[in-house]
């Protein structure tokens, strides 16, 4: 392990006292290095600046024209962009971090913090999970949401297909309170899924009030991403309003023919709420296809009723848009479309769908979003970049999200400027979760950094081969330690458990002041605006 760190670090150092890098001596001697000559996107959204970034141990100590000091290792940054490490606010690596602490598919994208526990499903108990991550750290940092469905199952067991009774909601609130004390950053929900879908709005409001007391966020895979998207947006807004909590709409999308090209209306609805003081934001992954369970396609949950299934398939533009990626009963269906499998069995797509659900269901990737909606959302300042992926994801977003935004949507299609895209990956999620000292390149900040080539960075993962690593992300540092170097993971595990700062602020109890995330305006961890 030590030799790997030394070798990879030597390759980038002009002068490095290698002894300083040996873990055994780390505590005694400061470890200092400097990135020289790079164009720095500091995370605030303001323009690139050619400045040097000097780091001692885990902290950035200066950002400016100062050169190397004696003993500094020097990282040549000429021609590269240096940004804060990416914070993935919707990441599904919770379970896999234990088995794959190097997390190459994540770190290779420049992700330095994975926020796990989205969509209503989280590790439980949160405290135990976070303790395990502290005991066996990964290459990258981790923060966790407490999952609404997870808590609901603890309280209701298998009897969850109904609204919860008041005493059950009270019990859930107690468990959530415990999770928040143990370090959860908020409450996540997955209202399009089996367990969470039976919750009434009032249940979510009561639980959100608990998370709000700790400055937590209510982050939701909303109740519908199809024809009833607008009702679902309204419910998320109402929860924010009634509970006085910050709301994050997960992977915002308009996923059926009936709502395509309505991004402007969705934006107007959400921005009207923001204007009247609801602190609501969103995130989006850069793909026009979603990945979930096959049953999600049928909003009325009548999976064996042919007219419902037929309508569901029509809503996404037909069975040729549904790719089966996981089906335990018939692995030979995997990576074929529902249309192709049905034809091979001489069945209709509707019959095939019903059979697959009977055989245990399937994971699917469904092409059902249009580019102009995706672009419109990304161009709003309150929409962040998140993967909804993670280690082992069967969707290319698991290994490609951040390089894809930088390569395809910034460089090639010019949907966003580079500094603005970086802000959506760094300070925006850091501020959302009140993660102290992360998400910006400033003196005193933690040295979670990514260095990449803006001319070449691109994703390479595909729907049929979702694990292929991207190119162009050259070096990734977590807490000042190199974890990714020139296409390879470094055997280092500096990842920390991150919890919300929860600093008392001028905004505490007053969610009505919504940060204006315009370019050049940054929000510090206590919530005050700084220009």
- Minimum distance between the CB of residue 123 and Zn ion, rounded to whole angstroms? 17
Nearer to Zn ion, 31 or 90 (CB): 90
Residue 219 Cβ vs Zn ion, minimum distance, rounded to whole Å: 10
Contact region for Zn ion (CB under 5 A) — 6-14, 47-55, 213-221, 392-400? 213-221
Q: Which lies closer to Zn ion via its Cβ, residue 209 or residue 223?
A: 223
Consecutive H or E run containing 366: strand 363-367
Question: In the structure encoding, which two tokens stand for residue 443, read together?
Answer: 């003196």
Dihedral sign computed on CA atoms, order 504, 506, 512, 517: negative
Binding flag, residue 395, Zn ion (CB under 5 A): no
Question: What is the smallest separation between the CB atom of 235 and Zn ion, expressed in angstroms?
Answer: 15
**Count of CA atoms in the C-beta half-sphere (13 A) of 390:** 21
CA distance 138 to 96: 10
Q: How many residues bind Zn ion (CB under 5 A)?
A: 2
Query: Least Å distance between CB 261 and Zn ion?
Result: 22
Structure tokens belonging to residue 203: 């249940």
CB burial of residue 375 (10 Å; 0-12, 13-18, 19+): middle
Nearer to Zn ion, 119 or 279 (CB): 119
Closest distance to Zn ion from the beta carbon of 232 (Å) = 12
The answer to whether residues 37 and 77 touch, using CB atoms and an 8 Å cutoff, is yes
Between residues 80 and 221, which has the closer beta carbon with respect to Zn ion? Answer: 221
Alpha carbon of 431 to those of 51, 87, 436, 514: distances in Å?
Answer: 24, 11, 8, 12
Q: Cα separation of 33 and 60, whole Å?
A: 10
Nearer to Zn ion by Cβ, of 119 and 437: the residue is 119
Stretch that binds Zn ion, among 207-215, 216-224, 465-473, 509-517 (CB under 5 A): 216-224
Q: Which is nearer to Zn ion, 104 or 226 (CB)?
A: 226
Contact window for Zn ion (CB under 5 A) among 207-215, 217-225, 301-309, 347-355: 217-225
Q: Does 221 bind Zn ion (CB under 5 A)?
A: yes
State which residue, 119 or 431, has the beta carbon closest to Zn ion: 119
Instruction: In angstroms, give the least distance from the CB of 119 to Zn ion.
Output: 4
Q: Residue 33 or 285: which CB sits closer to Zn ion? A: 285
CB of 298 to Zn ion, least distance (A): 17
Q: Which residue number, 55 or 207, has a Cβ lying nearer to Zn ion? A: 207
- Taking the least distance from each CB to Zn ion, the nearer of 250 and 321 is 250
Distance separating alpha carbons of residues 93 and 75, to the nearest angstrom:
30
**Residue 510 CB coordination number (10 Å):** 12
Among the candidate windows 16-24, 26-34, 116-124, 317-325, which touches Zn ion by CB under 5 A? 116-124
Longest dimension (CA), the chain: 74
Q: Does 274 engage in binding with Zn ion (CB under 5 A)?
A: no
> Cα–Cα distance between 341 and 75 in angstroms, integer?
52
Buried residues in 242-255 as b, exposed as e (16+ CB within 10 A): bbbbbbbbbbbbbb
Tell me the closest approach of the beta carbon of residue 434 to Zn ion, in angstroms. Answer: 23
Position among 119, 225, 373, 437 found at the interface with Zn ion (CB under 5 A): 119
Q: How far is the CB of 221 from Zn ion (least distance, A)?
A: 3
Would the CA dihedral through 14, 18, 21, 27 be positive or negative?
Answer: negative
* Beta carbon nearer to Zn ion, 90 or 311: 90
- Min CB(388)–Zn ion separation in Å: 6
Complex with Zn ion: residue 327 or 395, whichever CB lies closer:
395
Which residue number places its CB atom closest to Zn ion?
A: 221
Token pair 């977003």 in the structure block, residue = 397
**Please, what is the minimum distance in Å from the beta carbon of residue 334 to Zn ion?**
21
Contact stretch for Zn ion (CB under 5 A) within 215-223, 274-282, 488-496, 512-520: 215-223
User: In the complex with Zn ion, which residue's Cβ is closer, 119 or 420?
Assistant: 119
Torsion, Cα 145 91 43 428, to 10 degrees, reads: -40
> With CB under 5 A as the contact rule, which of the stretches 115-123, 265-273, 309-317, 463-471 interacts with Zn ion?
115-123
> Using the rule CB under 5 A, is 241 a contact of Zn ion?
no
The reply on whether position 88 binds Zn ion by CB under 5 A is no
Token digits of residue 256: 């059926």
Find the part of the chain contacting Zn ion (CB under 5 A) among 160-168, 220-228, 440-448, 483-491.
220-228
Helix (H) or strand (E) holding 55: strand 52-56
CB-based burial of residue 474 (10 Å sphere; 0-12 exposed, 13-18 middle, 19+ buried)? buried
Segment lying near Zn ion (by CB under 5 A), choices 6-14, 118-126, 328-336, 475-483: 118-126
Minimum distance from residue 397 beta carbon to Zn ion (Å): 11
CA distances from 450 to 58, 81, 224, 437, 479 (A): 14, 8, 35, 16, 11
Angle at CA 440, nearest 5°, toward 64 and 416?
Answer: 105
> Omega into 447 within 30° of 0, i.e. cis?
no
Binding site for Zn ion (CB under 5 A): 119, 221
């Amino acid at each position: 392990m030590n030799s790997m760190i030394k070798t990879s670090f030597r390759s980038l150092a002009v002068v490095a006292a290698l002894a300083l890098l040996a873990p055994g001596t780390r505590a005694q001697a400061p470890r200092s290095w400097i990135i020289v000559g790079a164009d720095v996107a500091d995370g605030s959204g303001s323009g690139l600046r050619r400045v040097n970034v000097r780091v001692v141990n885990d902290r950035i100590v200066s950002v400016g024209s100062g050169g190397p000091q004696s003993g500094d290792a020097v990282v040549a940054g000429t021609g590269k962009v240096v940004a804060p490490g990416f914070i993935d606010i919707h990441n599904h690596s919770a379970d896999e971090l234990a088995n794959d602490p190097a997390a190459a598919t994540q770190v290779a994208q420049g992700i330095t913090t994975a926020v796990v526990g989205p969509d209503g499903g989280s590790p439980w108990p949160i405290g135990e999970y976070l303790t395990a991550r502290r005991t066996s750290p990964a290459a990258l940092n981790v923060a966790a949401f407490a999952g609404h469905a997870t808590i609901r199952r603890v309280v209701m067991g298998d009897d969850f297909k109904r609204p919860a009774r008041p005493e059950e909601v009270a019990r859930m609130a107690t468990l959530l309170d415990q999770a928040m004390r143990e370090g959860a950053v908020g409450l996540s929900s997955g209202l399009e899924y089996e367990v969470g879908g039976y919750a009434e709005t009032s249940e979510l409001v009561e639980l959100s009030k608990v998370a709000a007391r700790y400055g937590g966020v209510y982050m939701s895979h909303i109740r519908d991403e199809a024809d009833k998207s607008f009702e679902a947006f309204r419910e998320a807004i109402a929860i924010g309003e009634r509970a006085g909590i910050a709301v994050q709409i997960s992977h915002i999308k308009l996923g059926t023919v009936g709502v395509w090209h309505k991004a402007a209306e969705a934006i107007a609805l959400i921005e009207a709420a923001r204007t009247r003081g609801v602190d609501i934001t969103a995130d989006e992954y850069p793909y026009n296809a979603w990945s979930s369970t096959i049953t999600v396609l049928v909003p009325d949950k009548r999976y064996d009723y042919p007219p419902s299934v037929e309508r569901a398939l029509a809503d996404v533009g037909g069975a040729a848009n549904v790719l089966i990626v996981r089906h335990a009963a018939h692995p030979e269906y995997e990576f074929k479309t529902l249309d192709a499998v049905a034809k091979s069995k001489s069945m209709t797509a509707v019959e095939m769908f019903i059979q697959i659900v009977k055989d245990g269901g399937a994971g699917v990737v469904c092409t059902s979003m249009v580019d102009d909606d995706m672009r419109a959302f990304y161009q709003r300042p309150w929409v962040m970049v998140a993967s909804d992926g993670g280690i082992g994801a069967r969707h290319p977003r698991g290994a490609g999200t951040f390089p894809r935004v930088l390569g395809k949507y910034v460089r090639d299609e010019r949907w966003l400027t580079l500094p603005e895209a970086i802000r959506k990956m760094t300070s925006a999620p850091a501020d959302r979760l009140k993660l102290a000292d992360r998400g910006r390149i400033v003196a005193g900040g933690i040295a979670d950094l990514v260095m990449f080539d803006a001319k070449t960075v691109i994703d390479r993962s595909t729907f049929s081969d979702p694990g292929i690593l991207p190119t162009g992300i050259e070096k990734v540092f977590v807490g000042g330690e190199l974890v990714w170097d020139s296409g390879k993971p470094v055997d280092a595990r500096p990842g920390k458990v991150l919890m919300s700062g929860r600093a008392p602020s001028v905004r505490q109890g007053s969610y009505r002041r919504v940060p204006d995330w315009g370019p050049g305006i940054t929000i510090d961890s206590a919530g005050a605006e700084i220009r």
